[in-house]
């Protein structure tokens, strides 16, 4: 009874926050660190090794054991003094060979993959990228295109000695049409910088990620990044209107259209969205940006069961409708890691599941009323056990950090095996439960969080140290489980180096063969981001 | 003064309609014919002939004069008795050779393009499509994939004697997930039937077209149809989640994913969206459907200038925000044709420009308030001269018909030269004005209407009869004008037969060459929908 009263009171407090006259208070007192930090590095480790079993997809046998391991180096040329002289001439001061400066470009942010490139090129223009690729293609030098290097599947760093082609200095905004909301910019613009630029002009980017402070828009497009706003604004396949891409032979493909509609022939830019730099180097992007909402609210709720969490999701879709802009979740294990490693206190009472709901709309009063009605219904129907609401910017950030900083908390928990699974939404937590049961006490933590609205689960498993036996217990179990539910083994992270050989769990052999044909057509020497995305049996 | 009073009163009447207590009245008294009619045929004509000048795009010369004319027949095989016997065996009763039955499949709905196919195949399953294509590819028989045959650029009918492969009998809904809103169905489902199916389940299709009563979802996807809801729900590149496609050699490519996110390799389905049947035959579609809005309002407004119409658009984006679902326009010439040919009376006073605004949302009261505030602001700032509002379904349809039936009205006005242009939104009406001035009294009517929110103008020019001199005055003027504004010469209709050779006005030569490579890779014999989409200089 006291519990119910406490809950009701807290929610009443929360609901009061919806009133335009009392937006300044909040139950959130979480200690905050800067939101848009560069993700910290884990202790260095060498390759992950996977053991891949005989799972069949359309009769295709998985290629080999240790499928995540690096394949042998392909017979590309190695950099000579003549090569260096050429690059130093065309990129004065921007052809980097200093080992210390190369270090951070050779290692991914998880420090799980390490290359040994001896050359980092930092072009500023499309023409420079074209000259570089034409030369590399002629010389048979492999190239690793690199944006903000925030990828999670080993796609953004060299595997051996590939030349690193960084977009870091290609960071100019080219045009912005304030009537249509269409932005064009170079590929190396940092997502957060674009967001800030747009917010000054009453627009926002259609995507938002935890890595926004580092990731480049070109990398976002190359990996078809999903993130926190996909539920509302859709995928980059819909919002990216145009691309400029340099092909492997140095040809510049100008598809940098700035129109919402263009049905003149095949939509070639789509090929490069999500191809992880294996088909071309994206040098410029045009993207449709939504108007900045006039009203944003964030709610943090607790649910007793995942079923209730899903019912709450359905309720929110109906009652929040067009203002619902995010429906994210984390489980109590995530909360434990946030408490333990980042000292972030739980803003509500302990529950098995937590939800972050964001609304954004054009009318604060209407949005507040919709949210009020939704919360009242969620409480009275006992879908939700506890909750708190934030309307102020700092409080909103504090609540969001409970979701966004789970990744960071995990890095403090131990060696992390990360999975990014797409499933029919009603199945997403069953995988976590089954995995926990399957692993027993072999894992330190098994946590689930992610984007409920998109059917996207981030399942992470930690261990005190790298543990091949644990990995052998996780894989292929997780891939088989996912395939049996017609899910995707990579919802938004891509395949990169780590997941390339597991592609057959989600794609039939005909599709993979067609990918190989497209790769051969666009990059016949295979110089662009080798060892990534495509499985080894196509090499 | 009386005029202002009349306007104000009419708008007050209109605004009253927003009240939930008086939704039954309306100023709209338009005589309605069934909304979802099959479009009527024009009197039969033969080929359109265009004269194409030397316009350069990236230094590429346009291929030849009469660029819209049919090229010579390519050296495909012709149907033999053995072929007929084979098709009759695999498709008992569904291999049609009767000339009368073939007639409507050989002619497009505008009756502007006529083929001479002697065989119409009506498969029911993907396996049958696969068998057909494998056989045709082996025999070097050209194939014209056909959905509802509602295309406007001569893409949906044979040019010579291609075998017509109709999806009409592939009309089963396969699955619908009421939690996620993901529908999978065969390609031959009629768009309107899908809409009705979904509406019973509280969902809607993410696209809506005037041709919904006839067009097939497979054809919609193959042509990347835009339509009336694109402003709100985005393009098919974002909403189509998966496709099943049969390739030219009969291989079935299963990309029929039913997940919102899947980053396992290249997004191959994108290649087929908008490729107009030239790369494969779409046999099944999975698509993300939005929840059915609980509240829909439609407003019909009049503006004195196009500048005011654009300012009203900007105002509506800000004040209607997330509930704005369409912003369409027509000019006074369109209204004249609606009055004259269809006897549809103007629901408001005469104005140079008319706007149809649709809102859809989850809360009738909130939506009504937003609309009220917007209309009040639009009136008091004199952006809008007159207007009326509808909240009832029949009245909503009546107002929509003023926009949707312009195409029909044009068919009664004479021979129509149709253009579908994408431009930066602030430029779209300038093209109409310039065209009128350019043509002088050579044209009967020059009318402009379309999707303001998408920057998409439908410019139509009528003449008492087919008039090569008039056409020579329109083209290449219109394409050069569009290219000089960085527009697209086909926003949503595609290139088909009629526009294929004008592709260089909107695509650089590298992109067209890459299209040719993709075509050669997927359909090496070129049997799929020959003479369409790709320019003749690639043949």
The alpha carbon of residue B111 and the mean position of all alpha carbons in its chain are separated, in whole angstroms, by: 17
Tell me which of 3.30.465.10, 3.40.190.10, 3.40.50.620, 3.90.650.10 is the CATH number of domain A173-288. Answer: 3.30.465.10
Q: Measured between CB atoms, which of A234, A267, A370 is closest to B270?
A: A267
As a whole number of angstroms, the distance between CA A456 and CA A488 comes to 9
Q: Indicate the SS3 state at residue A60.
A: strand
Task: Tell me the pLDDT band of A66, cut-offs 50, 70 and 90.
Answer: low
Cβ within 8 Å, pair A264-B490: yes
Would you say residue A101 has pLDDT above 80? yes
Cβ within 8 Å, pair A268-B180: no
The answer to whether residue A295 neighbours chain B at the CB level (below 8 Å) is no
Cβ within 8 Å, pair A514-B279: no
Cβ within 8 Å, pair A268-B515: yes
Which has the closest alpha carbon to B460: B495, B418, B423? B418
- Average pLDDT (A324-346) is 97
Q: Read off the pLDDT of residues A103-162 as tens digits, 9 standing for 90 and up.
A: 999 999 888 899 999 999 999 999 999 999 999 999 999 999 999 999 999 999 999 999
- What local confidence, expressed as pLDDT, does residue B419 receive? 97
Q: Read off the pLDDT of residues B494-523 as tens digits, 9 standing for 90 and up.
A: 999 999 999 999 999 999 999 999 999 999
- What local confidence, expressed as pLDDT, does residue A293 receive? 96
Cβ within 8 Å, pair A259-B422: yes
Q: Is the CATH number 3.40.50.300 carried by domain A73-169?
A: no
* C-beta pairs of A82-90 under 8 Å, 24+ apart in sequence: A83/A119, A83/A135, A83/A139, A83/A141, A84/A119, A86/A135, A87/A119, A87/A121, A87/A132, A87/A135, A90/A128, A90/A131, A90/A132
Task: Find out whether A431 and A421 touch, Cβ atoms under 8 Å.
Answer: yes
Minimum CA–CA partner of B493 in chain A: A263
The residue among A210 and A30 whose pLDDT is bigger is: A210
Q: Is the ipTM of this complex over 0.95?
A: no
Which chain A residues have a beta carbon less than 8 Å from that of B425? 179-180
- Average pLDDT (B234-256) is 98
Query: In chain A, count of helices (H) and strands (E)?
Result: 18, 18
- Name the strand (E) or helix (H) holding B459: strand B456-463
Q: Read off the pLDDT of residues A119-132 as tens digits, 9 standing for 90 and up.
A: 999 999 999 999 99
| CA distance, residue A497 to nearest chain B CA (Å) | 12
Q: Indicate the SS3 state at residue A287.
A: strand
Q: Is the CATH number 3.50.50.60 carried by domain A2-20+294-407?
A: no
- What local confidence, expressed as pLDDT, does residue B66 receive? 56
Class of the CATH-defined domain A413-493: alpha beta
The residue among B36 and B139 whose pLDDT is bigger is: B139
Q: Measured between CB atoms, which of A238, A322, A511 is closest to B253?
A: A511
- With both helix axes pointing from N to C terminus, report the angle between A428-439 and A477-484 in degrees, rounded to the nearest 10: 150
Phi and psi, residue A121, nearest 5°? -105, 140
Task: Tell me the pLDDT band of B54, cut-offs 50, 70 and 90.
Answer: very low
| CA distance, residue B267 to nearest chain A CA (Å) | 7
Average predicted confidence (pLDDT) for chain B: 89
Tell me which of 3.40.50.300, 3.20.20.70, 2.40.30.170, 3.30.70.2190 is the CATH number of domain B2-18+294-407. Answer: 3.30.70.2190
Q: Read off the pLDDT of residues A426-469 as tens digits, 9 standing for 90 and up.
A: 999 999 999 999 999 999 999 999 999 899 999 999 999 999 99
Instruction: Please state which CATH number belongs to domain B415-494.
Output: 3.30.70.2740
Task: Find out whether A101 and A93 touch, Cβ atoms under 8 Å.
Answer: no
Q: Where are the domains of chain A?
A: 2-20+294-407, 73-169, 173-288, 413-493
Q: Where are the alpha helices (DSSP H) in A107-179?
A: 126-139
What burial letters (b/e) apply to B403-422, b meaning 16+ CB within 10 Å?
Answer: bbbbbbbbbebbbbbbbbbb
The answer to whether residue A322 neighbours chain B at the CB level (below 8 Å) is yes
Task: Tell me the pLDDT band of A70, cut-offs 50, 70 and 90.
Answer: confident
Q: Read off the pLDDT of residues A167-201 as tens digits, 9 standing for 90 and up.
A: 999 999 999 999 899 999 999 999 999 999 999 99
- What local confidence, expressed as pLDDT, does residue B299 receive? 98
The residue among B249 and B44 whose pLDDT is bigger is: B249
Would you say residue B42 has pLDDT above 70? no
Task: Find out whether A498 and A420 touch, Cβ atoms under 8 Å.
Answer: no
As a whole number of angstroms, the distance between CA A412 and CA A462 comes to 10
The alpha carbon of residue A297 and the mean position of all alpha carbons in its chain are separated, in whole angstroms, by: 23
Architecture of the B81-169 domain = 2-Layer Sandwich (3.30)
Task: Tell me the pLDDT band of A538, cut-offs 50, 70 and 90.
Answer: confident
Would you say residue B20 has pLDDT above 50? no
| CA distance, residue A121 to nearest chain B CA (Å) | 26
The residue among B43 and B388 whose pLDDT is bigger is: B388
Which chain A residues have a beta carbon less than 8 Å from that of B493? 263
Q: Read off the pLDDT of residues A368-427 as tens digits, 9 standing for 90 and up.
A: 999 999 999 999 999 999 999 998 899 999 999 999 999 999 999 999 999 999 999 999
As a whole number of angstroms, the distance between CA B153 and CA A84 comes to 53
As a whole number of angstroms, the distance between CA A398 and CA A34 comes to 10
Cβ within 8 Å, pair A266-B275: yes
Task: Find out whether A296 and A396 touch, Cβ atoms under 8 Å.
Answer: yes
- Average pLDDT (A249-258) is 97
Give the percent of chain B with pLDDT over 70.
87
- Average pLDDT (A220-249) is 96
Angle formed at CA A265 by CA B502 and CA B213, multiple of 5 degrees: 105
Would you say residue A24 has pLDDT above 70? no
Instruction: Tell the residue number behind the tokens 């049919």, with chain if given.
Output: B70
- What local confidence, expressed as pLDDT, does residue A252 receive? 98
Task: Find out whether A184 and A242 touch, Cβ atoms under 8 Å.
Answer: yes
Residue B404 Cα distances to B36, B395, B539, angstroms:
10, 14, 37
Q: Indicate the SS3 state at residue A238.
A: helix
- What local confidence, expressed as pLDDT, does residue A7 receive? 42
The answer to whether residue A512 neighbours chain B at the CB level (below 8 Å) is yes
The answer to whether residue B237 neighbours chain A at the CB level (below 8 Å) is yes
Beta bridge partners of A107: A114
- What local confidence, expressed as pLDDT, does residue B324 receive? 97
Measured from the Cβ of residue B396, the count of other Cβ atoms closer than 10 Å reads 18
- Average pLDDT (A353-373) is 97
As a whole number of angstroms, the distance between CA A240 and CA A357 comes to 26
Class of the CATH-defined domain B174-288: alpha beta
- What local confidence, expressed as pLDDT, does residue A62 receive? 44
- Residues within 8 A of A (CB atoms), B 333-372 only: 360-363, 366, 369-370
Q: Read off the pLDDT of residues B55-88 as tens digits, 9 standing for 90 and up.
A: 334 444 444 445 677 899 999 999 999 999 999 9
**Do B81-169 and B415-494 come out as alike in CATH topology?**
no
Q: Choosing among B153, B264, B421, which should be mutated to test the A contact, i.e. which has the most A CBs within 10 A?
A: B264
The answer to whether residue B238 neighbours chain A at the CB level (below 8 Å) is yes
Task: Tell me the pLDDT band of A539, cut-offs 50, 70 and 90.
Answer: low
The residue among B420 and B41 whose pLDDT is bigger is: B420
DSSP labels, B153-204: SS-SS-SSSPEEEE-TT---EEEEETTTTEEEEETT-BHHHHHHHHHTTTB-
């Amino acid at each position: 009874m006291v519990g119910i009263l406490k809950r009701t009171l807290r929610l009443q407090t929360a609901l009061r926050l919806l009133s335009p006259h009392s937006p300044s208070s909040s139950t959130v007192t979480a200690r905050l660190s800067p939101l848009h930090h560069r993700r910290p590095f884990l202790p260095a480790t060498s390759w992950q090794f996977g053991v891949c079993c005989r799972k069949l997809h359309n009769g295709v046998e998985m290629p080999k054991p240790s499928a995540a391991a690096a394949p042998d180096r392909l017979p590309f040329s190695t950099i000579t003094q003549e090569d260096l002289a050429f690059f130093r001439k065309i990129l004065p001061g921007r052809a980097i060979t200093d080992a210390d400066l190369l270090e951070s470009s050779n290692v991914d942010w998880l420090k799980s993959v390490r290359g040994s490139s001896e050359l980092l090129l930092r072009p500023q223009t499309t023409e420079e990228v074209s000259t570089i690729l034409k030369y590399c293609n002629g010389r048979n030098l492999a190239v690793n295109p690199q944006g903000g290097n925030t990828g999670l599947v080993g796609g953004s760093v060299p595997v051996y000695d590939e030349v690193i082609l960084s977009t870091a200095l290609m960071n100019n905004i080219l045009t912005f049409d304030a009537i249509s909301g269409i932005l064009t910019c170079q590929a190396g613009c940092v997502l957060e910088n674009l967001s800030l630029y747009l917010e000054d002009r009453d627009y926002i980017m259609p995507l938002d990620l935890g890595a926004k402070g580092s990731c480049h828009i070109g990398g976002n497009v190359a990996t078809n990044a999903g993130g926190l706003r996909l539920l509302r604004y859709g995928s980059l396949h819909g919002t990216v209107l145009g691309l400029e891409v340099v092909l492997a032979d140095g040809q510049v493909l100008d598809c940098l259209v700035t129109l919402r509609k263009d049905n003149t022939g095949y939509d070639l830019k789509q090929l490069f969205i999500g191809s992880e730099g294996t088909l071309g180097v994206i040098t410029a992007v045009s993207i449709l940006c939504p108007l900045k909402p006039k009203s944003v609210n964030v709610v943090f709720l607790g649910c007793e069961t995942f079923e209730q969490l899903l019912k709450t999701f359905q309720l929110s879709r109906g009652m929040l409708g067009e203002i619902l802009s995010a429906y994210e979740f984390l489980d109590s294990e995530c909360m434990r890691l946030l408490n333990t490693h980042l000292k972030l206190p739980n803003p509500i009472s302990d529950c098995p599941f937590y939800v972050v709901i964001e609304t954004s709309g054009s009318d604060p009063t209407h949005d507040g009323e919709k949210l009020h009605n939704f919360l009242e219904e969620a409480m009275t129907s006992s879908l939700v056990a506890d909750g708190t609401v934030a309307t102020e910017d700092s409080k909103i950030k504090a609540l969001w950090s409970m979701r966004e900083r789970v990744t960071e908390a995990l890095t403090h928990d131990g060696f992390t095996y990360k999975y990014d699974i797409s499933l029919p939404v009603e199945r997403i937590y069953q995988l976590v439960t089954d995995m926990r049961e399957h692993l027993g006490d072999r894992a330190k933590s098994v946590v689930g969080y992610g984007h409920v609205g998109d059917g996207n689960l981030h399942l992470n498993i930690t261990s005190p140290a790298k543990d091949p036996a644990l990995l052998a217990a996780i894989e292929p179990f997780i891939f088989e489980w996912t395939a049996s539910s017609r899910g995707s083994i990579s919802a938004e992270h891509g395949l990169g180096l780590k997941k390339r050989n597991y592609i057959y769990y989600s794609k039939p052999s005909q599709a993979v063969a067609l990918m190989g044909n497209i790769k051969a057509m666009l990059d016949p020497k295979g110089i662009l981001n080798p060892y990534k995305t495509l499985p080894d049996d196509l090499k």
